[in-house]
Structure 1
């Protein structure tokens, strides 16, 4: 079942689109907070986005660019603005298709199916799980980059794997053995001190983007990342 995030502030139209999509077996996530579309996108991880242009706070072009900066998930614009320039701007900002209001729901469903076949039919693994977010800290999976409050830093492969593993188990202790296995696959061939050195580097990376004292060392057990920074 494919999931679709609906970014449409017209409540009646939002409800109608939701109803039609669910009738065809799609899971829907209508947006309510139009000031945090990107956060909702990261939280829900939809397979597709339907985006209006005229929205509160920021317009659809802005959110399209914002989403496109972290994901290749397909975006279809649905808008009453029918000029060639609006359609050109939508495509240039990263949209995959454009549907003009008022529209036929059969046409909308056909376009959705077409984009899904094109995007997910041959390389589905390239468009999913590209970003992981915890308390405003974004990890870009395909780039080994972290972002917090607008600051971005590129991590080494080992730094990224350590941080990702800790965040997936936030507020829980991850054993040294588990972390060594994740990084090197064979604990016997690794000096335990090497893990400590790499963890120090991860701490430094977090401090560089404004997150301090987030990782605790649990002697004899492992490490834990706190998410109340």
Structure 2
């Protein structure tokens, strides 16, 4: 679950954005004291920051400068002003994107998803091997290998396995898995997810790991770790 720090003083807009982002399984934090934005930033350690330009105390450009002095976290600016210089200034300060108010929520979520994919998928590609129950999972080659042999998974099957292994021993809901696949630009239906999970289990059975992916009725799926 990605953490988003939303620096927005319009309480109505803040609640609307938070509610909509929560539906996409983002964890959204706000600012209680606009003179202490950096303190909240340090405490939350967000994966992405959304900043309004017009804020109490100091404007969004001020906080962007301070954040960039400490972190390369992706930043998206919001602005109700139509000055072209605002967008230029935002980019010069190191922002990743700019959204003009009023905006359609689909535009904002698309920009958030694109930014997170660009920043964090790139980093995750650098580490493409993982050990699980004595097996080596190679995300790049789409293989799982252990002393019983090696299997090759489809892209969707490996994507599902990766989501489960990133939160081992935690139940991942079917809805969250479908959204993750959709965010990764893969179209899946509820039935398609069931077929892919069943195929994933069947393939893992070949090397003795099928039972380590379990269904929690009415909740979702879980990848078990050693000792559980």
Q: TM-score, normalised by structure 1?
A: 0.54
Correspondence 1:1-229 to 2 at 5 A: 1-123=1-123
Partner of 2:182: none
Task: Tell me how far apart the structure 2 counterparts of residues 53 and 19 of structure 1 sit (CA, whole Å).
Answer: 21
Alpha-carbon distance in structure 1 between the residues aligned to 2:125 and 2:95: 20
Cα distance, 1:82 vs. partner? Answer: 2.1
Deviation at 1:125, TM superposition (A): 9.9
What TM-score does the superposition give when structure 2 sets the normalisation length?
A: 0.54
TM-aligned CA deviation for residue 124 of structure 1: 5.2
- CA deviation map 1:86-122 (0-9, x unaligned): 1000111111100000000000000000000000011
| Structure 2 Cα separation of the partners of residues 125 and 49 of structure 1 | 23
1:8-60 CA-to-partner distances (Å, cap 9, x unmatched) read 00000000010010011100101121101111101100100010000011100
Cα RMSD after superposing both structures: 1.4
For residues 17 and 100 of structure 1, the distance between their equivalents in structure 2, rounded to whole angstroms, comes to 14
Q: Report Cα offsets for 1:65-86 as digits up to 9, x if no partner.
A: 1001100000000110122111
d(CA) in 1 for partners of 2:44, 2:120: 18
d(CA) in 1 for partners of 2:57, 2:124: 32
CA distance in 1, matches of 2:124, 2:48: 12
Unmatched 5+ residue regions in structure 2?
Answer: 127-228
Distance 1:78 1:56 in 2: 15
Matches of 2:60 and 2:18, distance apart in 1: 18
Name the CA distance, whole Å, in 2 between partners of 1:107 and 1:73: 20
C-alpha change, 1:59 and 1:48, in structure 2 (3 Å) is same
The 2-side partners of 1:100 and 1:39 are apart by 27
Runs of 4+ in structure 1 over 3 Å off: none
Structure 1 unaligned runs (5+)? 127-229
C-alpha distance in structure 2 between counterparts of 1:31 and 1:111, whole Å: 22
Residues 135-157 of structure 1 show CA distances to partners (whole Å, capped at 9, x for unaligned) of xxxxxxxxxxxxxxxxxxxxxxx
Q: How many residues are aligned here?
A: 126
